[in-house]
């Protein structure tokens, strides 16, 4: 009986020890896994924070680059921003400073105001931002540009560039060739062209108009000379005046006296009869 009780007591003790060991083992496992989970959570949090930091850094860098781009564009601006404004990168290729740039729509008379600021110039080879209200007129509209070129000797001359399609352009360059002013340009879609042919035609027309008054005057002079020659046959009756010239009428030819009739034997003289 005592032996049985002792066995049962030992068995209970062993079971208690086993249960205690199990409980301790589970607790240790839980304690061991807790740092791992905490470490993973910490790493995940750190990764998210790093991503957010990188995104913020990228945004800051982009903003900085944008600001640098905006502040680095130091080109001179001709014109003003507006809803209808188109911007063209205009280069002065005339080899002289420009003191004035004016624009008008082709076919109109008056140019706009000078777009170069007071006291400023567009130096040779300088690129400026030209802003013109051209959207309202459509892409097919053309414009004339008149620039004032200042030579090295201080003298100024106006140069006109005709039929420039500003609304279509991305860039343009002012040039001269053999006395003809024209524009080489690149459109917004990358096409390259120039106004040289239009400029040559315009110059030829202007030359004809300049020569027209002289030709008309010459024609009038020729007509006047011709009319003068037609009426220059002088009246020579004045050369036969009483003082300058004596006119003698031709003498009449002497007339012969009539001959006496031949006498016969019966003829008589007076009252005497001859037999």
Give the residue carrying structure tokens 């012969």: 256
CA 66/CA 87 separation, integer angstroms:
19
Note down the domain range covering 150.
77-206
CA 188/CA 36 separation, integer angstroms:
61
Write b or e for each residue in 239-264: b if 16 or more Cβ atoms lie within 10 A of its Cβ, otherwise e.
eeeeeeeeeeeeeeeeeeeeeeeeee
Percent helix, strand, coil in the chain, to 5, is: 45, 25, 35
CA 152/CA 124 separation, integer angstroms:
12
Using DSSP's 3-state secondary structure scheme, residue 17 falls into helix
Assigned domain for 265 exists: no
Assigned domain for 2 exists: no
Neighbours of 116 (CB within 10 A): 20
Element at 102 (helix H, strand E): strand 97-105
Using DSSP's 3-state secondary structure scheme, residue 47 falls into helix
Structure tokens of 150? 């200042």
Assigned domain for 236 exists: no
Question: Based on the structure, what is the number of domains in the chain?
Answer: 1
Determine contact, residues 94/177, Cβ cutoff 8 Å. Answer: no
- Each residue's pLDDT expressed in tens, for the chain with a length of 275 residues: 555 565 566 566 666 666 565 545 545 445 555 554 555 555 665 666 666 666 666 666 665 554 544 557 899 999 999 999 999 999 999 999 999 999 999 999 999 999 999 999 999 999 999 999 999 999 999 999 999 999 878 889 999 999 999 999 999 999 999 999 999 999 999 999 999 999 999 999 988 988 877 767 766 776 666 666 655 555 555 555 555 555 555 666 666 655 555 555 444 444 544 44
* Cα–Cα–Cα angle for 100, 93, 78, rounded to 5 degrees: 35
For residue 207, give every residue at least 6 positions away whose Cβ sits within 8 Å of its Cβ, in sequence order, or none.
none
Q: Measuring CA to CA, how many Å separate 218 from each of 209, 213, 224, 231?
A: 15, 9, 10, 20
Assigned domain for 212 exists: no
pTM of the model: 0.55
Assigned domain for 161 exists: yes
Assigned domain for 119 exists: yes
Using DSSP's 3-state secondary structure scheme, residue 275 falls into coil
Structure tokens of 227? 């009319």
Assigned domain for 252 exists: no
Assigned domain for 141 exists: yes
Q: Domain containing 184 — which CATH number?
A: 2.60.40
């Amino acid at each position: 009986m005592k032996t049985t009780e002792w066995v049962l007591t030992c068995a209970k003790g062993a079971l208690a020890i086993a249960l205690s060991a199990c409980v301790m083992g589970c607790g240790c496992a839980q304690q061991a896994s807790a740092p791992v989970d905490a470490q993973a959570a910490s790493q995940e949090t750190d990764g998210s924070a790093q991503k957010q930091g990188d995104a913020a850094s990228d945004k800051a860098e982009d903003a900085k680059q944008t600001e640098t781009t905006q502040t680095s564009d130091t080109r001179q601006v001709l014109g003003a921003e507006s809803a209808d404004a188109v911007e063209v990168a205009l280069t002065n290729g005339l080899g002289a400073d420009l003191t004035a740039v004016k624009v008008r729509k082709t076919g109109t008379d008056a140019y706009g105001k000078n777009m170069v600021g007071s006291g400023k110039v567009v130096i040779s080879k300088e690129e400026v931002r030209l802003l013109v209200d051209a959207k309202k007129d459509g892409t097919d509209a053309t414009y004339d540009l008149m620039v004032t070129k200042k030579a090295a000797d201080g003298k100024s001359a106006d140069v006109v560039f005709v039929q420039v399609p500003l609304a279509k352009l991305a860039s343009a360059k002012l040039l001269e060739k053999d006395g003809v002013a024209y524009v080489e340009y690149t459109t917004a879609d990358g096409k390259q062209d120039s106004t040289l042919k239009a400029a040559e035609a315009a110059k030829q027309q202007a030359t004809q108009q300049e020569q027209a008054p002289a030709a008309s005057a010459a024609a009038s002079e020729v007509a006047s000379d011709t009319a003068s020659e037609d009426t220059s046959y002088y009246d020579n009756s004045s050369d036969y005046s009483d003082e300058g010239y004596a006119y003698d009428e031709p003498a009449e030819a002497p007339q012969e006296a009539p001959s006496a009739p031949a006498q016969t034997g019966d003829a008589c003289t007076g009252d005497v009869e001859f037999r």
